[in-house]
Structure 1
Amino acid sequence: MPPDTISVVIADDHPAIQLAVKSTLTEIPTVQIAAMCASGGELFAAVEAHRPDLIVTDFTMGRSEGNDDGLRLIQRLRQSGPDTPIVVFTMLTNGGLLTRIQESGVAGIVGKDEEPAILRQICMDAVSGNGLRLSPGISARMASAGAMAGGGISPLSPKEIEVVRMFAAGSPLTEIAGYLHRTLATVATQKRSAMRKLNITSNADLVTYARDNGLT
């Protein structure tokens, strides 16, 4: 059963999305927005300060010193507050990456292009502890990925996905290594491994793959 008052922290690096999520959730009488954040660093500070009943966060936000996003963000949130449900509100279309997010222990995943009522319902289900909930759009994308030739969800490991995602966003390998706390040799090996699995031979094709599969 959800608490009488539901404290929510919202994180997205686009102010318009923050306001849209706030407007959507405050239609629930028991919801109180404790904080709205634009980065991973702001999100962790807000979670520490408010200890919310629910976190609603984007997956891809600006990365800089002290600001995680992506799978690292979710992992750190889960470690710092394993009992706090997380709903990921995202434009991601890549079924493989969505599956990785599902496996990370979040309570729900909702597409930003879906009806506000869907976000409200999944957030309430998350607070009520009703198990993992996927919006219809997210479920369809993941089902489509599962139906690909060979039936595999994604040929890439979570670590390879993070490297490809950051590389396609324009980060050099040295920056990726520092951000992920891996050696440069490890990151270079993971990039080569990803390209080999995808049968890609050029950096330009790797960037195109990332863009076409919703990794950027």
Structure 2
Amino acid sequence: MTPRTFSVVIADDHPVIQLAVKSTLSAAPDLHVCATCSSGKELSAALATHRPDLIVTDFTMGRSEGNDDGLRLMQRLRQSSPATPVVVFTMLTNGGLLTRIRETGVAAIVGKNEDPAVLRQICLDALAGHRQRLSPAIAGLMASAGARADGVASPLSPREIEVVRMFAAGSTVTAIAAYLHRSLATVATQKRSAMRKLNITSNADLVAYARDHGLA
């Protein structure tokens, strides 16, 4: 009997990372990369066309109308392709945000700074139906941040995290409201709430916090 080949779609907005992930996964004879994407919009189109067995995606990609990334993308993937395991391949270092990603139901989270063999093996484990996996580096980050397996996470809500992340990346409150389809007042309130929880009083300090804590 011919062994089954599993199809994989990769999404990352850096072409070099795309090629590296494709090369890493293609080294496994039973994995076939059927598409590479640079945005949430391209990923959605590829999923409709190819219906892959596995999705490997970055968390932070370019945002625009119809181009989801972040928690919105994770939630959309779970809604549109609930039976397809999602492996998040990321440079994020914030334990609270990593916990929020895990809570969306992804199959695994892997750090981009780890040995390529770690990503390949975790992808194979996800396809085999193993329980949710965290790579060694990601597990270490979450443990050091106090993000235990019982769900202790950031003091910020998922919506506050997204607002802080986008603000630190250079988006205005108005642009964030338009992208997230929330009112300007709601986004402003969520930003103020996040700053209050973090005991931060200036925009510059909020941006610095996000960068220092792996949110940006």
TM over 0.5: yes
- Residue 19 of structure 2 corresponds to residue 19 of structure 1: yes
Distance across 2 between alignment mates of 1:208 and 1:15: 28
Distance 1:147 1:47 in 2: 32
Identity %: 76
C-alpha deviation, 1:147, in angstroms: 7.2
CA contact under 8 A between 2:165 and 2:215: conserved in structure 1? Answer: yes
Whether contact under 8 Å (2:100, 2:153) holds in the other structure is no
Q: Does the residue aligned with 2:145 lie in a helix, a strand or coil?
A: helix
Aligned to 1:47: 47
Q: How does 1:1-216 map to 2 (within 5 A)?
A: 4-146=4-146, 153-216=153-216
**What are the ranges of 5 or more consecutive residues in structure 2 without an aligned counterpart?**
none
Partners of 2:87 and 2:110 within 8 A in 1: yes
Cα 1:147/1:106, change in 2 over 3 Å: closer
Paired residue type of 2:184: L
Q: 1:153 deviation in Å?
A: 2.6
Distance (whole Å) between structure 2 residues aligned to residue 192 and residue 121 of structure 1: 42
**Per-residue Cα deviation, 1:136-177 (whole angstroms, up to 9, x for no partner):** 0000000001179xx953110000000000001110111101
Distance, in Å, in 1 between the alignment partners of 2:183 and 2:192 is: 14
CA distance in 1 between counterparts of 2:147 and 2:99 reads 13
User: Does the C-alpha gap of structure 1 residues 147 and 52 become closer, same or farther in structure 2, counting only changes over 3 Å?
Assistant: closer
Q: Where in structure 1 do 4 or more consecutive aligned residues deviate above 2 Å?
A: none
Aligned partner letter, 2:177 = A
Decide whether the 8 Å contact of 2:97 with 2:154 is kept in 1: yes
Equivalents in 1 of 2:77, 2:152: separation in Å?
28
Mark the runs of 5 or more structure 1 residues left unpaired by the alignment: none
